[in-house]
Amino acid sequence: MIQRHILLFFISLFYVSAAISQVENDTIKIKEKYGIRIGVDLSKPIHSIFETESKGFEIVSDFRFLKNYYAAVELGVIDKTTNEDYINFTTKGSYFKVGINYNAYENWVGMNNEIYVGLRYGLSFFDQTLNNYTPNVKGTYFIAETLEPNTQFSDLTAHWVEFVFGMKVETFKNLYLGVSISFNNLISTTDPENFKNLHVPGFNRVFLNNTGVGFNYTLSYLIPIIKKNK
């Protein structure tokens, strides 16, 4: 009885080793695509449908330079009017962001999806126009009249860093849908006299401690340039 078991054990060992060697022989060469991906941010045109006082356009692009690393660029223009309780102002300008994404997602064979973290440096050139304001006064004894100075503050700049978290999914061949959220921190900005940059193109709303948040929904197309073995 024991002898039979030992024999069976050795036979199975042989089979296992044979199976392993077979897998090694079967290996197919898997190609991964490297190229430039170009797309647009869909959230901004959608936003302008619901908010008529906000117009914007953004082009996004990235380039895979290492297996898990992508160089990324975003270019955009913004024309947005913000209405607060006591002020109304328009921000108009363009911005540029450059940085890298690190893909933390381990794809299955043949898949090209990403869950990534990224860093960006952002730079913006813009104008602010103070359309109108109402001096803030306690009580209702004297009601302040709304003033319309239409003061334009030109040649303003701002630069900042962003921490990006997002994902991209290949929906059709070479066509990607992406979503990302970014946490922004203003490095510096040229504030207008007797006013403040409360909105910066690309950075969005500037919160009290110079932080901001951004949201992107992109559609992009990959132009494959080279295919590398995995």
163 near other proteins, judged by CB under 8 A:
yes
- Cα separation, 127 vs 157, in Å, equals 9
- Cα separation, 69 vs 129, in Å, equals 40
Among 10, 14, 121, 183, indicate the residue that binds other proteins (CB under 8 A): 183
108 near other proteins, judged by CB under 8 A:
no
Nearest-approach distance from CB 152 to other proteins, in angstroms: 15
- Residues that bind other proteins (rule: CB under 8 A) add up to a total of 33
Give the residue among 208, 205, 210 at the shortest CA–CA distance from 82. Answer: 205
Q: Which stretch binds other proteins (CB under 8 A): 3-11, 35-43, 189-197, 214-222?
A: 189-197
43 near other proteins, judged by CB under 8 A:
no
215 near other proteins, judged by CB under 8 A:
no
Structure tokens, 30: 């898997």
Q: Could you tell me which residues come within 8 angstroms of residue 163 by beta carbon, excluding any fewer than 6 positions away? A: 117, 118, 119, 182, 183
Confirm if 223 and 34 have CB atoms less than 8 A apart.
no
Residue 147 three-state SS: strand
Q: Spell out, one character per residue from 115 to 154, where the chain touches other proteins: x when CB under 8 A holds, - when not.
A: x-x---------------xxxxxxx-xx-xx-x-------
CA 157, chain centre distance (Å): 21
- Cα separation, 90 vs 171, in Å, equals 37
Name the residue type at position 99: G
Q: Which stretch binds other proteins (CB under 8 A): 11-19, 66-74, 81-89, 93-101?
A: 81-89
Which residues are near other proteins by CB under 8 A? Answer: 84-87, 104-105, 115, 117, 133-139, 141-142, 144-145, 147, 163, 165, 181, 183, 194-196, 198, 207-209, 211, 213
